[in-house]
Chain A
Amino acid sequence: MSAISPPAERIWWKQPIDKLEFTWIAIAFVWSLVMFVMMVYWHVAGGQNLSNETYKTTKEMFAAKAQAVVDKYTVRAGTAAEKEFPVVAPPAGSDIYLIGRLWDWWPIYELEKGKTYKLHLSAMDYMHGFSLQPQNINIQVHPNYDHVVKITPNQSGTYSIVCNEYCGIGHHTMVGRIYVK
């Protein structure tokens, strides 16, 4: 009988399985395990894993920390094409804070190639999406949470941060910048 009628045999559990069907199941099972192991393996041996370091924070506290870094390490005022945002060049290894707000990424950082920074991400209002281009690394950014991501830029250049979480009518204007020297 077909799939729209009850099985013809009262006990169908003991029917033998077709050889090719069984082979396919075995292959699919092995492939499933390989894919599972890949994720675990990358945590051990891979160079790109999203950090699990997250803290509950407040908008005020996060903004104050960002302001402190900006006050300390600003190297120049941005041009008009940089929205006149401060351009900040903190030393390698330091904590840097990036604010997502309607509709900016603030401030602009200048980083050194091959050096590691602790990038803190948080939003001031709605959720935003950190989308680093043309690398194409994408991270969700939440308000009231401080997400600490260790980043090590491996190529110099000018990078844009596009917002890719819908955040209202000006969403498409929300673009920030990171320079890597």
Chain B
Amino acid sequence: MADQEERVPVMQQVLDNPFLLLFLGITVPTVLYIVWGVMEVANIAVAR
């Protein structure tokens, strides 16, 4: 059973780690969508 000894590839390890996925799945949209979006809205200039 040589297969049993073989190291699990990194990408498979990532996909097998639910909490890492949870972290990624929260961070990416929070940064790209919410934080960036809210900053844009907060920086709208005031009309004269």
Residues of A that sit less than 8 Å from B by CB: 9-14, 54-57, 61-62, 145-146
Contacts and interface: CB of A to CB of B under 8 A. Distances in A.
B8 interface: yes
A10 B4 contact: yes
**A-B interface, 8 closest residue pairs, ranked by CB to CB distance from nearest:** A55-B47, A13-B12, A57-B47, A13-B9, A56-B46, A146-B47, A56-B44, A54-B44
Contacts of A56: 44-47
Interface residues of B, number: 11
A11 B11 CA distance: 11
Given A10-B8, A11-B6, 16 more contacts: A9-B3, A10-B4, A11-B8, A13-B8, A13-B12, A14-B9, A54-B44, A55-B44, A55-B45, A55-B46, A55-B47, A56-B45, A56-B46, A57-B47, A61-B47, A146-B47
Interface of B: 3-4, 6, 8-9, 11-12, 44-47
Contact of A11 (B9, B44, B45, B46): B9
A91 B6 CA distance: 77
A111 to B, nearest CB: 23
A119 to B, nearest CB: 15
A154 B12 CA distance: 56
A179 B17 CA distance: 61
What's the dominant secondary structure at chain B's contact region?
loop
Nearest to A61: B47
27 contacts: A10-B3, A10-B4, A10-B8, A11-B3, A11-B6, A11-B8, A11-B9, A11-B12, A12-B12, A13-B8, A13-B9, A13-B11, A13-B12, A14-B9, A54-B44, A55-B44, A55-B45, A55-B46, A56-B44, A56-B45, A56-B46, A56-B47, A57-B46, A57-B47, A62-B47, A145-B44, A146-B47
Nearest to B6: A11
Nearest to A62: B47
Interface centre among A9, A13, A62, A146 (most CB of B within 10 A): A13
Nearest to B14: A13
